[in-house]
Amino acid sequence: MIRNDSLQPLHLEGFEEVQTGHWTLENDGHSVVLRVGSGMAVSGGGLPGTYHTVQLHFHWGGPASNGSEHTVDGHRYPMEMHIVNMKSIHPNVSAALDDPTGLAVLGFFIDVVYADNLHFGHISQKLSSVAHKGQTAKIKPFPMMSLLPKHNMSQYYRYQGSLTTPPCSQAVVWTVYEVPIYISWSQLAQFTSQIFSTEEDAEQVTPLQNNFRHIHPSSGRTVLASRD
Ligand code: SG7
Ligand code: ZN
């Protein structure tokens, strides 16, 4: 890992505001995805351009096992949230997948404490409405920033990588923040117990768990760390 002083905090445009219209929470069979309208974008922090925010989604483990996709010094966190942003020059996400820097995904570790995270409640309260694959629920927009860590947003890791689900396209500039988001044990349990990926699983009460990709070798990639 190499420190790089030029990795300044990202510019998160529209993240403080309440966006107009409505957002859609969906169970896509692999994760829970919150599709957001236009109006938010990320840039700066060494990103090669401006990227419009498309959606956020989650990866989790089981009731007693962790499920983040990234690990830090071998430590896996209970969950990870990904905010997916598409380089604005592309017409859609599939076009962006042909560009090695077509997507900028912001990764946030999620750790567990006793107290509920009230901001996270916007999402966790609606999980039971998207228990089954293909189900959607409308969510009233809220300031995206309210989900993110309040401090130390200047501390992050950066590398050039891929989608973590098939087709695993090499199209992602990854920004993985060092400081986690905190939610409660019961909020975590909603993810590990209330989401089903098939009807058979729902009948057998086998919820979707461990929807994270296993660790891959860095294969010569450089992981940079911002200063601070
Ligand atoms: C989840 O992770 C979904 C996908 C996402 C994929 O399965 O959120 O989103 C879709 C299909 O809308 O794929 C292209 C894309 O965003 C992988 O995303 S990730 O690499 O950030 N984990
Ligand atoms: Zn993801």
ipTM of this predicted structure: 0.96
For the segment 222-228, the average pLDDT, to the nearest whole number, is 88
Residues lying with their CB under 5 A of ligand 2, a single-atom ion = 82
For the segment 87-114, the average pLDDT, to the nearest whole number, is 97
Ligand 1 pocket member 163 (CB < 6 A): yes
pLDDT at 228 over 70: no
What pTM did the predictor assign? 0.97
CA 27 to CA 200: how far, in whole Å? 15
Beta bridge partners of 108: 81, 177
Ligand 1 mutation target, pool 34, 36, 57, 98, most atoms within 8 A of CB: 57
Amino acid 151: pLDDT: 94
CA 92 to CA 19: how far, in whole Å? 21
Mean pLDDT of the chain: 95
Atom of ligand 1 nearest to the CA of 93: 14
Ligand 1 pocket member 93 (CB < 6 A): yes
Beta bridge partners of 3: 225
Contacts of 79 (CB under 8 A, 6+ apart): 58, 59, 60, 61, 66, 67, 68, 109, 110, 183, 188, 191
> How would residue 25 be classed by pLDDT, with cut points 50, 70 and 90?
very high
